[in-house]
């Protein structure tokens, strides 16, 4: 229902009420007839109605004139213009409405300005986070690649150590045979005590294992060189035995010749000389067998030294790779103690050689186990690095979504006019 119709209804109702009150009063205080009274009533009704219409029309125009600026102001706000402001300093209902509209627009403008600042800050922060995430992802990928290289190096070292273990096992068997031929029974060696300590992190453990393997290979090289020196000592002693056997054989031959010259009186001496010659020949053969075993041992020792040198080169290359990531990989401790022993005779030397070979075999097995542990540790570190890379991918996607939302929020805020210059 329009305002005009409402005004008409109000005027009509007011006129009827006024006429209903005035007509009985007029009938009481006047002596007019009914027809005159009706004419007076109609005239009074029309006069009151016309007066009400005039008053209501004026009120309607005044109300419309007051509301038109408010309506225009509301349209401007709806179109996004928050720079307008209504000027009306009255205490009537229109003035209260104008004050409420102005307060609403001021509050909305403050909120949108804060939203604009927040969206700008979020967008800038998202860009910085995106750049940081790119750097972190690049670092994580580099660490993952380095750990994979270390894992491959550890596997190669494990295979090389296994080969060294097989060679040293053969050397141990030969040393045992030499000890049996020399009938040595004394034990003069001291068993190597290996202490393995686990690292606190996968990458640190890998570096520790590499360092331990390097020290172990140096100790094994020292042991093999000591075995070579003992073999040379044994060879010298065997040469002495061979010379003694040859001289004894020559003396026995001379004794046999002298016995044959003595005739019947030298027959018993000839038998003794023959026995001495047989013993000398047996000693020479035994010395030849020992010499052959020593040569074989020296050959196998040379092979083992070459294999260990190759292993040391592999370990050196792995240590170079580890050196590029010193902040992730650290050296922990040495694991193998020096093995010392001496020999003063053929028997003690051969026994020390056998025991030294056994220690080399044990050390090689332990080194192989360390290499396998290092390979397993680097594989776990590689898996952790890959998982970190995946997490960074998810974080980067979230940052990109945050940046997109901040741009969208800023675009929505920019649709509003907050300053006069916009």
Instruction: Indicate if 152 and 70 belong to the same structural domain.
Output: no
Instruction: Indicate if 274 and 386 belong to the same structural domain.
Output: yes
Instruction: Indicate if 9 and 148 belong to the same structural domain.
Output: no
**Can you give the pLDDT at residue 336?**
44
Q: What is the CATH number of the domain that holds 222?
A: 1.10.287
Instruction: Indicate if 74 and 166 belong to the same structural domain.
Output: no
Residue 248 pLDDT > 60: yes
Instruction: Indicate if 55 and 174 belong to the same structural domain.
Output: no
Q: Is residue 239 part of a domain?
A: yes
Question: Last residue of some domain: 26, 50, 79?
Answer: 79
pLDDT grade for 343, boundaries at 50, 70 and 90: very low
Q: Is residue 410 part of a domain?
A: no
Give tens-digit pLDDT for 192-210.
445 434 444 555 665 677 6
Residue 52: give the domain boundaries: 3-79
Residue 339 pLDDT > 60: no
Residue count (the chain): 422
Instruction: Indicate if 75 and 171 belong to the same structural domain.
Output: no
For 389-405, give one letter per residue: b (16+ CB within 10 A) or e. Answer: beebeebbeebeebbee
Question: Last residue of some domain: 79, 98, 129?
Answer: 79
Residue 78 pLDDT > 70: no
Backbone angles phi, psi at 332, to 5 degrees: -110, -65
Q: How many domains in the chain? A: 2
DSSP string, 272-296: HHHHHHHHHHHHHHHHHHHHHHHHH
Instruction: Indicate if 72 and 175 belong to the same structural domain.
Output: no
Token couple for 84: 């307008």
Instruction: Indicate if 224 and 350 belong to the same structural domain.
Output: yes
Question: Last residue of some domain: 27, 45, 79?
Answer: 79
Q: Is residue 102 part of a domain?
A: no
Q: Is residue 122 part of a domain?
A: no
Give the global pTM.
0.28
Q: Is residue 36 part of a domain?
A: yes
Q: Which of 226-230, 368-372, 411-415 has the lowest mean pLDDT?
A: 411-415
Q: Is residue 398 part of a domain?
A: no
Q: Is residue 351 part of a domain?
A: yes
Instruction: Indicate if 331 and 248 belong to the same structural domain.
Output: yes
Q: Which residue has the tokens 């570096």?
A: 207
Q: What does DSSP assign to residue 420?
A: T
Q: Is residue 406 part of a domain?
A: no
Instruction: Indicate if 206 and 306 belong to the same structural domain.
Output: yes
């Amino acid at each position: 229902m329009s305002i005009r119709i409402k005004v008409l209804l109000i005027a009509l109702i007011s006129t009827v009420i006024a006429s209903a009150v005035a007509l009985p009063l007029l009938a009481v205080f006047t002596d007019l007839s009914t027809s005159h009274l009706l004419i007076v009533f109609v005239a009074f009704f029309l006069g009151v109605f016309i007066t009400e219409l005039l008053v209501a029309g004026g009120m309607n125009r005044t109300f419309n004139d007051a509301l038109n600026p408010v309506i225009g102001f509301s349209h401007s706000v709806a179109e996004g213009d928050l720079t307008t402001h209504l000027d009306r300093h009255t205490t009537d209902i229109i003035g209260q409405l104008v004050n409420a509209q102005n307060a609403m627009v001021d509050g909305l403008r403050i909120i949108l300005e804060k939203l604009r600042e927040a969206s700008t800050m979020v967008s800038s922060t998202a860009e910085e986070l995106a750049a940081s995430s790119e750097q972190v992802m690049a670092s994580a990928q580099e660490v993952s690649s380095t750990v994979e290289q270390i894992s491959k190096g550890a596997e190669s070292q494990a295979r090389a150590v296994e080969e060294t273990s097989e060679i040293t096992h053969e050397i141990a068997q030969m040393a045992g045979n030499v000890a049996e031929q020399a009938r040595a029974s004394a034990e003069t060696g001291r068993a190597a005590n290996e202490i393995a300590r686990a690292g606190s992190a996968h990458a640190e453990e890998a570096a520790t294992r590499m360092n331990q393997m390097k020290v172990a290979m140096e100790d094994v090289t020292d042991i093999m060189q000591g075995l070579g020196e003992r073999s040379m000592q044994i060879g010298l002693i065997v040469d002495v035995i061979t010379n003694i056997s040859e001289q004894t054989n020559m003396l026995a031959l001379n004794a046999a010749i002298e016995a044959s010259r003595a005739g019947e009186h030298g027959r018993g001496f000839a038998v003794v000389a023959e026995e001495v010659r047989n013993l000398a020949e047996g000693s020479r053969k035994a010395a030849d067998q020992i010499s052959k075993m020593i040569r074989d041992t020296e050959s196998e020792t040379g092979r083992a030294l070459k294999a260990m040198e190759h292993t040391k080169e592999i370990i050196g290359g792995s240590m170079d790779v580890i050196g590029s990531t010193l902040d992730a990989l650290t050296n922990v401790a040495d694991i193998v103690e020096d093995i010392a022993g001496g020999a003063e005779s053929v028997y003690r030397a051969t026994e020390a050689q056998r025991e030294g070979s056994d220690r080399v075999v044990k050390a090689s097995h332990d080194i192989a186990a360390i290499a396998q542990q290092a390979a397993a540790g680097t594989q776990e570190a590689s898996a952790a690095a890959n998982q970190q890379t995946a997490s960074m991918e998810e974080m980067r996607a979230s940052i990109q979504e945050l940046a997109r939302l901040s741009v969208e929020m800023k675009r929505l805020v920019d649709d509003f006019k907050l300053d006069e210059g916009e």
